[in-house]
Amino acid sequence: MTDIQNTEASIATPAPAARGITLRGVIERFGPFILTAFLLGFWEFAVRFFKVPAFLLPAPSQIAVLMYNEWSLLQMHATATITSMVSGYLCAVFFALLVSSIMIRFPLVEKCVMPIFVALQSVPKIAIAPLILVWVGAGFHSKLLVVTAIAFFPIVINTMTGFKEVDRGLRDVFTSVAATERQIFFQLRLPYAMPYIFAGLRIATTLAVLGAIVAEYLAASNGLGYLVLSGSFNFNTARSFAAIISLAVIGTSFFWLMSLIESRLSWKRRASGDQTTQE
C-alpha cells in the first residue's frame, strides 16, 4: 500500500522544468567566445614557444599592445573606411531598389537589363577598379563607386526574387478589387519581399567592406586597407593585423546591425498583423 502511495505521489509531483545551467547550454551560448579564446591562447603559445619573429607573425599580446598605443591612428583610418563603405552601401541600396521596382513594373526592361547586370557581375571588380580610378581619380569618389558596384548586384537579385514570389492567389485578390499597380506594389509586393530584400542587404554588408578594401588597396592615402599595405611594406605586421582585426569588427557589426533592423521590422509586422486579426 505504501509503495502504491509513493508511486502515485511521484506521478503527481511535476518534474523540475530545468536542471539549471548545462554544459550544452554554455557551449551554445558562449561557444564562439570560448573557441576564440582557445585559438588566441594557442597562437600566443606557438609564437613564443617557437620564437617566431614579430615581422612574420606577431603574438596576440603584441597586437593588443599596438592597438592600444596606436588607437588614434586606427580610429582615423577606420573612420575613412566606414565613411566610404556606408556611403557606397546606401547608394547601392537606393539604386538597387529603384532598378528592381522599375524592372518588376516593366518586364521588358528586366529582359533587356538583367543580362547586362549578370555580365557585369561575372567580371571581377578588381579588374574594373583601375578603370574607375582612371575615370574619377583616387580618393573618396573612387571608393564610393567601387563599393556601390560590388554591393549592388546581390540586392537586386534578392529583391527581384522577393517581388516574383508573391502568392498568385493574393495577386488575384488585389486584381479582383481593382487595385492599382501602385497599391499592389506597396501593399503586396514590397511587404512580401522584405525577407528577401534583407537577405540581400545582409550579403551586401560584407561585400561593401570588401569593396572599400579593394579601392584602398589600389590607390588611397587613408583607410584600413591602406594601413594593411603600409604595415606589410614596412614589416610592421602587428599593425597590419590590427587593421585586419578592425575590419573584422566593422564588418561583423555592420552585418548584425542589419540583422537587428530586420528583426525589429519583422516584430512590428507581426504585431500589426496580430492586431488586424483581433480586430
* Distance between CA atoms of residues 84 and 213, nearest Å: 10
How high is the mean pLDDT of the chain? Answer: 84
Indicate if the alpha-carbon torsion angle 83, 85, 88, 89 is positive or negative: negative
- 7, part of any domain: no
269 pLDDT band, cuts 50/70/90, is: low
Asked if the structure places residue 102 within a domain, the reply is yes
- State the average pLDDT over residues 153-176: 86
Domain count, the chain: 1
Tell me if 206 is assigned to some domain: yes
Residue 35 counted as domain residue: no
pTM for the full model? 0.82
Cell 486579426 maps to which residue? 277
The answer to whether 202 and 259 are in contact (CB under 8 A) is: yes
Structure confidence by residue, pLDDT tens digits, 82-139: 999 999 999 999 999 999 999 998 999 999 998 888 888 888 777 787 788 788 877 7
Q: Is residue 257 domain-resident?
A: yes
131 falls within a domain: yes
Give the containing element (helix H, strand E) for 129: helix 125-136
CB 178 within 8 A of CB 190: no
Give the C-alpha separation, 244 to 230, whole Å: 12
Predicted confidence band at 276 (pLDDT cuts at 50, 70, 90)?
very low
Q: Which domain holds residue 165?
A: 80-223+245-278
Q: Encode pLDDT of 227-257 as tens digits.
A: 999 898 889 999 999 999 999 999 999 999 9
DSSP 8-state symbol, 137: -
In a domain, 36, yes or no: no
What pLDDT score does 155 carry?
A: 94
Give me the CATH number covering residue 166.
1.10.3720.10
Query: How many angstroms separate the CA atoms of 84 and 46, rounded?
Result: 37
